[in-house]
Structure 1
Amino acid sequence: MILVMIRTIILFILVVIALRIMGKRQIGKLQPYELVIIIMLAELASLPMADNRFPLVIGVVAIITLAFVEVFISYTALKSQHLREFICGSPSILIENGKILEQELTRLRYNVNDLLEQLRTKNFPDIADVEYAILETSGEISVIPKSQKRPLSPADLHIPTEYEGLPITLVIDGFVFVNNLQKINLSEQWLSSELSKFGIHDLKQVLLATLDTQGNLFYQLKTQKA
């Protein structure tokens, strides 16, 4: 029993490391070869866990090899357009200038019902509003609406806007991100001083604290003290 637990922990850690090396991707965003590698990783990890007679080293070597293959293919595809098209495919235009391309749907074995369903998930229930629809290599559909159907933006109304940027996370669950403070030339002492103005004298009480580009400090306390 102890041996099974140890083998399981080792394989779990190894698979997690392999997936981290492959990068951050949602399951629906995976390229075909990435999905194949993930399926094979899961199978290779399950064999040594299910059967103690299966040598652990074989599973470990196979998982490391697959991770290396994925990294090699990814880096090679960055340099070679032909390899990238062969492995990942290329985007396909399904709607062009507001017209459905029937031949492309037939070639991809993609029916009109599937197309309409995907458009609805993109908040385009009326196909007459669509200028272009492109099927990406990940299987997702990118939709470009007709110009008269696009939402207004401040630029359309010639309204000037100020830079917003992203707020900087300073504290999460009592943990202070010192590196983030250093990036904006602030210190933990400054943070403590600012929070003390609101009666907060212990950073461990803070659930979340952020600072936006305008210098506004947002904070929320924990409902239960640590």
Structure 2
Amino acid sequence: MDGSTLFAFSVSPWELVLRGTLIYVFLFLVFRFVLRRDAGSIGLSDFLFVVLIGDAAQNGMIGEATSSADSMLLIATLVGWNVLLNYLAYRWPGFERLAMGQRLCLFRSGQLNRRAMRRELITTEELKQTLHREGVRGFDEVDLIYLEASGEVTVIPKQPPSP
């Protein structure tokens, strides 16, 4: 590759924008509805899944593109979609609920919400580990546990009775 083709497009810029858009929307849906837990609690299989998706998506996005201009336009397309979705979520609460999700109650009134845990593939052991990280000994010391839309698990301890 010589210097004259380094910044020239090797494929149609519109094709790159379309490819980037399709892959971004597809991956957004996958991560929104499949991988909800945060990166701090990501397991080895989840991490491997993300790496493999990145590699597979790269092939689908770039196609026959080889120049720096192709890559820069593709990256700009992905950044643009990310900024647009964040703006829409900020501007319209209804869109935020759709795009970013809502928190999910995993524990309330001494009862595990097994249905929600099953849907999110969260085990009782994982919740116990979360309790221990929060400095809570067991479920008997907890009022509520939520899986937030961001993927973080929030533990709300019971309040001691007032005198």
What's the TM-score bracket when you normalise by the shorter of the two chains?
0.5 to 0.7
1:114, distance to aligned residue in structure 2 (A): 1.4
1:146, distance to aligned residue in structure 2 (A): 0.5
**Is residue 90 from structure 1 mapped to residue 102 from structure 2 by the alignment?**
yes
Pairing of 1:68-107 with structure 2 (within 5 A)? 68-107=80-119
1:95, distance to aligned residue in structure 2 (A): 0.9
**Is residue 110 from structure 1 mapped to residue 122 from structure 2 by the alignment?**
yes
For structure 1, the residue ranges without an aligned partner over 5 or more in a row are: 8-25, 30-34, 48-52, 150-155, 157-226
Deviations 1:30-58 (A, max 9, x none): xxxxx99xx58x959xx8xxxxx811101
RMSD: 3.6
- Radius of gyration: which is bigger? 1
Of 113, 127, 144, the residue aligned with 1:132 is 144
- Tell me the equivalent position of 1:144: 156
Q: Percent identity?
A: 22
1:81, distance to aligned residue in structure 2 (A): 2.5
- Tell me the equivalent position of 1:180: none
Any conservation in 2 of the 1:28–1:138 contact (CA below 8 Å)?
no
Give the Cα separation in 1 of the matches to 2:152 and 2:131. Answer: 10
- Tell me the equivalent position of 1:224: none
Runs of 4+ residues over 6 Å off in structure 1: none
1:117 is aligned with what amino acid?
A: Q
Give aligned pairs, total: 115
1:107, distance to aligned residue in structure 2 (A): 2.5
1:99 is aligned with what amino acid?
A: Q
CA distance change for structure 1 residues 78 and 148 in 2, over 3 Å: closer, same or farther? same
CA distance change for structure 1 residues 28 and 85 in 2, over 3 Å: closer, same or farther? farther
Any conservation in 2 of the 1:28–1:139 contact (CA below 8 Å)?
no
1:130, distance to aligned residue in structure 2 (A): 0.3
Of 56, 63, 83, the residue aligned with 2:68 is 56
Give the Cα separation in 1 of the matches to 2:137 and 2:149. Answer: 23
Larger strand proportion, structure 1 or 2?
1
